[in-house]
Amino acid sequence: MFGSQLFNTFKFPKKKKRNTKVIFEDLENNLLSDTSDWKMEDFRLLETLGTGTFGRVLLTCHKDTLQYFAMKVLKKPKVIQLKQVQHVLDERKVQGIIKCPFTVQLHKTFQDRNKLYMILDYACGGELFTWLRKNKRFSEKTAKFFACEILLAIEYMHSKNVIFRDLKPENVLIDETGHVKLADFGFAKVVKDKTWTMCGTPEYLAPEVILGTGHDKAVDYWAFGVLLYEMLAGYPPFYGRESQMEIYTKIVSGKYAFPSFISKTAKDLIKKLLAKNKMKRLGNLKDGVADIKAHKFFDGVNWEKVVKKKTVSPININLDCAGSSKYFLRYKESLGIPEVPPSKEENELFKDF
């Protein structure tokens, strides 16, 4: 993917037994081409990659460079109606901060009277969710590969005081080499202490989010534990057949069971990540993310190779052509129902986008 060269300089500690901490430095240099002169008309719209409440994501091609990108299109009236203006502005702010090879990179933003546009990396391998459903569940080796890259993305975001808050298989994309790119920063936020907004996906919410006691970076480690469980089991540890309240009750009680085929080592890591008390949650202790990397589940991982994407992905991406969308679902192309444009005052809400 076009953001794959973004890791510029890393300094690694001298190798010690299971001391796997990676120190990120000099990640601010964006090695991508200058996009200051890009205009909306420079892009050819090809097809829909996904749809959502506020709009859709389109596959686009830059007419001059012939590079493929994903264009996220948000409808201003819908954003205003659902009181999501601040979330959208937070998303724009966070994407401007994040420069990591394991996250989707923002290249350019545009807006007109009715819509907001974000030009993002195109991860042509589709969603991790699709691959997980296709395989039913992942082997421990495969799950570990993805867990390593996702953990580095979380570590990097937290170093910038960014909480992701919506980690799930649908928001983990796969690039053309089979590596991870976290996407959809709609709930991401710069937080130096605590925040109280309840947001995220029900099955992945941490207990403190549901209880409204205030949450911080620890919620991402909880979600990381849920994701690791789902990759290994094929389903999340907390789910309900009747209602979201059933899911919330299970999460707050901390009751879940492991299938017998999950290893003791994986179970131990997941249990420590799914600690109800965030003060006892792995990743949120004195040594932070280093405690997770030092767990036996990650024994044998060469974190320097992981950072540099020198590990071989268990997923083989076979593309028909550079702009192939074969790993995405097909959507009906529609212009949608015309909406009343925002007023001049309402458009002022997006002046910093």
Catalytic residues: 166
What token pair was written down for 331? Answer: 């959507």
What burial class does residue 345 get, using C-beta atoms within 10 Å of its C-beta: 0-12 exposed, 13-18 middle, 19+ buried? exposed
Give the phi and the psi of residue 68 in degrees, each rounded to 5. Answer: -100, 140
Strand pairing partners for 9? 25
Length of the chain: 353
Rounded to an integer, what distance in angstroms lies between the CA atom of residue 293 and that of residue 320? 37
What token pair was written down for 210? Answer: 């549901």
Contacts of residue 341, defined as CB under 8 A and 6 or more positions apart, other chains included, come to 76, 77, 113, 114
Rounded to an integer, what distance in angstroms lies between the CA atom of residue 125 and that of residue 108? 22
What token pair was written down for 161? Answer: 């005081």
Rounded to an integer, what distance in angstroms lies between the CA atom of residue 51 and that of residue 216? 29
Contact 259, 233 (CB under 8 A): yes
What token pair was written down for 4? Answer: 């794959």
State how far Cα 49 lies from the chain centre: 17
Rounded to an integer, what distance in angstroms lies between the CA atom of residue 329 and that of residue 57? 12
